[in-house]
Chain A
Amino acid sequence: MVNLIWLLMLLAGIIVAGFTGHIEVVTEASLEAAQTAVNLAFELIGLMAMWLGLLKIAEEAGLVALLARLLRPFTRYLFPEIPRDHPAIGSIIMNLSANILGLGNAATPFGLKAMQELQTLNPRPEEATPAMCTFLGLNTGCLTLIPATIIGIRAAASSTDPTIIVGPTILATGFSMIMAVAGDRFLRRFYNGRRG
Chain B
Amino acid sequence: MTELIIEISRWAIPLVLFFIPLYGYLRGVPVYETFVAGAEDGFKVAVKIIPFLVGMLVAIGVFRASGAMDLFARLLNPVLHLIGVPGEVLPLAIMRPLSGGGALGIAAELIANYGPDSFIGRLASVMQGSTDTTFYVLTVYFGSVGVRRYRYALALGLLADISSLIAAIVICRLMFG
5 A-B pairs, CB-CB below 8 angstroms?
A29-B64, A56-B37, A58-B23, A129-B151, A146-B5
Contact: A128 with B151, CB < 8 Å? Answer: yes
Question: By the criterion CB–CB under 8 Å, are A144 and B130 in contact?
Answer: yes
Q: Give the nearest-CB partner of A147 in chain B.
A: B129
Task: Indicate which residue in B45, B108, B168 contacts A168 across the interface (CB closer than 8 Å).
Answer: B168
The interface residues of chain A lying within 8 Å CB-to-CB of B128 are 147, 149-150
User: In the assembly, what is the distance between CA of A76 and CA of B19, in Å?
Assistant: 28
Which residues of B does A touch, CB under 8 Å?
1-2, 5-6, 8-9, 12-13, 16-17, 20-21, 23-24, 27, 29, 31, 34-43, 45-47, 49-50, 53-68, 71-72, 97, 100, 104, 107-108, 111-112, 115-117, 121-122, 125-126, 128-132, 134, 137-138, 140-142, 144-157, 159-161, 163-164, 167-168, 171-172, 175
A63 near B: Cβ within 8 Å? yes
Chain A positions within 8 Å of B66 at CB level:
12-14, 16-17, 20, 22, 25-26, 29
Q: Is the CB of A70 closer than 8 A to any CB of chain B? A: no
| Chain B interface, DSSP helix/strand/loop, else mixed | helix
Contact of A61 with B24 at beta-carbon distance under 8 Å, contacts A54-B17, A175-B164 already known? yes
Asked, given contacts A146-B8, A168-B126, whether A61 binds B60 with beta carbons under 8 Å apart, the answer is no
Shortest distance between the CB of A45 and any CB in chain B (Å): 4
A71, CB-defined interface residue at 8 Å: no
Contact A30 B62 (CB under 8 A): yes
Q: Is the CB of B46 within 8 A of A163?
A: no
Contact B141 A115 (CB under 8 A): yes
Could you give, for residues 1-19 of chain A, a 1 whenever the CB lies within 8 Å of some chain B CB and a 0 otherwise? 1100110011011111100
Chain A contact residue count (CB 8 A cutoff)? 114
A10→B149 contact, CB < 8 A: no
Q: Do the beta carbons of A168 and B34 come within 8 Å of each other? A: no
A87 contacts the other chain (CB 8 A): no
Alpha-carbon distance between A6 and B68 when the two chains are bound, in angstroms: 14
Given contacts A6-B55, A37-B54, contact A57 B104 (CB under 8 A): no
A183: Cβ under 8 A from any B Cβ: yes
**CB of A193, distance to nearest CB on chain B (Å):** 12
**Nearest CB of B to A115, in Å:** 5
Chain B residues with CB below 8 A from A2, complex form:
138, 150, 154
Enumerate A136-167 residues with CB–CB distance to B below 8 Å: 136-137, 139-142, 144, 146-151, 153-155, 157-167
